[in-house]
Amino acid sequence: MSFPEGFLWGGATAANQCEGAYNEGGRGLANVDITPHGKNRFKVMLGLDNTLDFHEGEYYPAKVGIDMYHHFKEDIALFGEMGFKVYRMSIAWSRIFPNGDEETPNEEGLKFYEDLFKECHKYGIEPLVTITHFDCPIHLIKKYGGWKNRKLVGFYENLCRVLFTRYKGLVKYWLTFNEINMILHAPFMGAGLLIENKETEMKDKYQAIHHELVASALATKIAHEIDPNNMVGCMLAAGNTYPYTCKPEDVWKAMEKDREGYFFIDVQARGQYPNYALKKMKREDTMPAMEEGDLELLKNNTVDFVSFSYYSSKVASTEEMAPTTEGNVFASVKNPYLSASEWGWQIDPLGLRITLNSIYDRYQKPLFIVENGLGAKDVIEEDGAINDDYRIEYIREHIKAMHDAIEIDGVELLGYTTWGCIDLVSASTGEMSKRYGFIYVDRDDEGNGTLERRKKKSFDWYKEVISSNGESLE
């Protein structure tokens, strides 16, 4: 049961969840920095807190993260020991342009990532870089209102030109926006949007969506012009939606829920707005303003591959009383046939194969799974061991599912990066106790701990998976 030659095995993180050093190296303040741990986290993520600063008495986990800013050589050495072929990470926009709208970038920030990329290559690891993983400089939110303002397309273009030029030869794989469909669910995180007027909320969201889609196409165009070897992908928070019953209304509801996410990738991968989306926006009066040349830009600059995160499938029902669960920030009807994690995320390995087939059938472009993993509470035994067999089992079953998608179904899959290959701050809850990594980091939900790194049982298991190219899974 081996995988294709050259398959890219690795792991994934995001700057705002692991990097820390929020006020070092000339970095500016970003939306992700002021998202607290605790009961107010979702209020901020949803754009319902317009303070745009730190609150007294709140704990902000992104300020330190796991301090990868000062530990990246140690961390990448551990990734190299596991045999990573690829490491998915992200750029903190405000580390390159502290306010976001400067003409000249911050050299100290550029040098940090240059050193990090060179460290990856030292171990034969290809960086897969997300240009924007929920990061938006606070200045761009205060002055321009976030991505609903067209000016952000130009500021993002400036960021991309700097990155593609500076890191030519160091970075080949790029993603434009992380989980771009998150705008609909957590607009402050997804697009720096504050919900100040409920009547215009959806129109503002779709305007921001259009600007990000245009920016993504522009980034793809520039990347190919600067270096024809660049491969640019889009990124979707995925997971097929099942109908709760075979009642046609439930089937239709499930299709509608899937279209909410596919809409974004339809534009990025096919190059045009799908008719169902155009009809919906016209019907609901959410059609965004477009500039001359936007549609041509989208048409001529589609992505090279489609990447996505997969944690669970979802279920849709027309019955209001259907039991619900939470998965990421996406609410879903509970699937009675699936078990769940400690945080209620339902576990569905076959759903990954279903999702892979759905996306590949739809776009016929190479795919890349850039997030998949299990958040769990890990225990350090008396002898210092961390026996995370539950994580091994979860990843093993998902690897088997993606192997079947490749070998039996013919899906073209470039690689697989597990989420949180090293423990980091949870995006949805701000917790450290919700651990995903093969590497344990000594830090708790209140910010206490030594930040010491420690290998879990899954570390050596995944090392063997990679060295055998997926043949050894036991």
Range in 46-50, 448-452, 456-460 the model is least confident about = 46-50
- Helix then strand then coil, in percent of the chain rounded to 5, is 40, 15, 40
- What pLDDT score does 329 carry? 64
From the list 12, 93, 23, the residue with the least C-alpha distance to 60 is 23
Bridging pattern class, strands 367-371 and 413-419:
parallel
Question: Regarding beta strands 330-333 and 314-316, do their DSSP bridges make them parallel or antiparallel, or are they unpaired?
Answer: unpaired
Which residues, at least 6 apart from 282, have a Cβ–Cβ distance to it below 8 Å?
A: none
d(Cα 437, Cα 176) in Å, to the nearest integer? 24
Q: Are 181 and 261 in contact (CB under 8 A)?
A: yes
Give the residue from 368, 435, 413 showing the smallest Cα distance to 130: 368
Would you state the pLDDT for residue 324? Answer: 74
Cα separation, 424 vs 75, in Å, equals: 12
pLDDT tens, position by position, 398-445: 999 999 999 999 999 999 999 999 999 999 999 999 999 999 999 999
In whole angstroms, what is the distance from residue 468 CA to residue 473 CA? 9
What would the pLDDT profile of 19-46 be if each residue is shown by its tens digit?
Answer: 999 999 999 999 999 999 998 999 999 9
| pLDDT band with cut points at 50, 70 and 90 for residue 328 | low
Which domains are present in the chain?
Answer: 8-468 (3.20.20.80)
Q: Are strands 86-90 and 8-12 parallel, antiparallel or unpaired?
A: parallel
Task: Transcribe 10-53 into DSSP letters.
Answer: EEE--HHHHT--TTSTTPPPBGGGG--SSTTHHHHHTT-----S
Distance CA 351, CA 310 (A): 9
**According to the model, what pLDDT value does residue 323 have?**
72
Instruction: State percent of the chain over pLDDT 90.
Output: 95
Q: Is 432 left (phi over 0), alpha (psi -120 to 50) or beta?
A: alpha
- Which residue from 60, 28, 23, 62 is spatially nearest to 137, judged by alpha carbons? 28
Asked if residue 268 has pLDDT above 60, the reply is yes
- What are the CA-CA distances from residue 309 to residues 20, 230, 367, 382 (Å)? 23, 21, 11, 35
Count the Cβ atoms, other than its own, within 10 Å of residue 18.
Answer: 27
Q: How, if at all, do strands 439-441 and 453-455 pair?
A: antiparallel
- 371, 382, 393, 431: the catalytic one is 371
Mean pLDDT, rounded, for 95-101: 98
Which of 262, 248, 244 has the alpha carbon at shortest distance from 315? 244
Average pLDDT over the chain reads: 96
> Mean pLDDT across the stretch 260-283?
98
Task: Give 331's pLDDT tier (boundaries 50, 70, 90).
Answer: confident
DSSP string, 318-337: S-TTS-EEEETTEEEE--TT
Q: Are 101 and 149 in contact (CB under 8 A)?
A: no
Bridge-partner residues for 371, per DSSP? 309
The 3-state DSSP class for residue 167 equals: coil
Predicted confidence at residue 59, as pLDDT, reads 96
Does the annotation count 256 as an active-site position? no
Tally of helices (H runs) and strands (E runs) in the chain:
15, 14
**Stated pTM of the model:** 0.97
Amino acid 172: pLDDT: 98
**What pLDDT is attached to residue 320?**
79
Q: Is the pLDDT of residue 182 over 80?
A: yes
Average pLDDT over residues 235-247: 97
